[in-house]
Structure 1
Amino acid sequence: MKRVLLLVVAFLLAGCASSAGSPAPSPSAPCDPGPAGTRQVQVGKRSFLLHVPTDFQNPSPAVFTFHGRGSNAQQQLLLTGFDQVAEEGRFLVVAPEARNGRWDFTGGDDDYLRAVGAAVPCMDPTRVYASGMSMGSAMTFALACAPDRKFAAFGGVALTVFEPQCEQAPPAPIIYFHGTADEVVPFRGGQPEGEDIDLPAVPVAMREWAQHNGCTSDTVERLGKDIRLQEWSDCTADADVDYYRVRGGGHTWPGTAPFIADAIEQSLGKTSQTVNASSLMWEFFEQYTLSPA
């Protein structure tokens, strides 16, 4: 897993550096993100999905959302509903597309992700956020481990990890969700389905992130019958860690539209409707900005 994280960090940083590393455009500078709605953007022989909200900010915050193994960008938007959350939050949504439903952790996606970063219009590089599901969540945590960070905060569902090289990274604001009945990426740790890696138990990994962030306060709150929120606060650089344990939840995204949740329940388990992970992620994200480069 350590080698995987190092490779992910290397090519994802390259992918975002061209846009997220440049100075933020002046709010008065003209910037046209194109028509409102979701569209496919071609980058070389590949593409990604971009959602532009109706009420656009100039420059705009952006949420990158990485799909899981076997999925795609369109399914990630359907699963998360980030395009709908963006209409109220007034942020761009960027959904990259893996080849054959699987991210290449050996560097094969390097040029593609660099092109995606360069093609996102009107993006405020101080307000760029990373999110992901399962293998896409692995992407998110790899970015959180980067010593030269390009994202202001991070949100994941159904795969978390903390590796020794993460110690070299600055404190990372993190919001995370995991179901206790997840049979694809087990809550108690071990090998994910179809992968030759070992992951820590979810509570262990989240405590390690809280310790890394220097958090000194730890509170627990019950939300409905199935959600336990453990929140670490009073952290270095205000980098809080919010961890939502979903009792009985499967390999699913809390708050997914009920018709999708019903369709995937037999194969992936139950989806909690007590909270909406995407809305909670955005509420968490918008508290954070990066200092301009």
Structure 2
Amino acid sequence: MRVATVDSLVTLFYDGSRELFDQELIWEWEDEEVQIRHQNNINGDWEDWQLEEVVNFEELNELSDECKRYIRERRSWQQIIVVDGVTEIPDYTFYECYNIQRVIFADSVIRIEHHAFFGCRSLFDIKWPLNLECIGQYAFRECNLSSVFIPPRCREIGGWAFVANENLTILNIPQDTELQRSAIFNTKLFQKSPAGNFGVPTWLKNMNNSDQFALHRVCSSFEPTLEMIVDVLKDRGGPNAFKVENSIGITPSRYLQENPYAHIIEKEIIEKYILDMMGEL
């Protein structure tokens, strides 16, 4: 594994060659963390807390040098690039790596195990692996994701996988994916759900199934094409269909903007549609 600066972010190239999670060192740090909270009167969530601003590492005499190096290293990473050939991200690998903002997975990744990115509070951008099959329990709990487009091969999303991503408003998942009902607790998406606790998985999979929302389904689908969208526009009244909100206030335009697999410019779609209607194509 190596570290370099990519796009101005401190980037770890993860190849799975060594175990990144050390339970004993985490326990050692968490014991000290409690004392720092108490001494500095820090209550509740420390989302904006920067370690260097609160305490000097060198003054933490109760911590081993190994633990200090370990925590410093984990807090230094801002981007993770998972290299080709890695097939799984083990349990707790990036647990509470607070400063990770972006993760880019190689398509070889099949499994993301439980707690793998738990507490990565700055994580807002993920390039998902096309061959992903399983996301474990708590895998992305307490991150900062606002939209998630799960690849079509994924068949299982564990309990609490995306819980407490407070800004999460888009979660597009395949119809065949088993989604635990607790996966989106404490998110904007859950708050807007009319389905209640037990009906959330079904509601998520079917909220755009009405013919009225055909354009939503296309724009949020895996790798939508220009031809697919133009065909729907012909039946849905033209470019204004991009502005129709679904039951939680998401428009097809936003699906296109958020969908990492949509390499389509909305202006080009509208232009093609209008020319098509005028018989110029």
TM-score, normalising length from structure 2?
A: 0.30
Relative contact order (C-alpha < 8 Å, sep 6+): which is higher?
1
Structure having the higher Rg: 2
TM-score normalised by the chain length of structure 1: 0.30
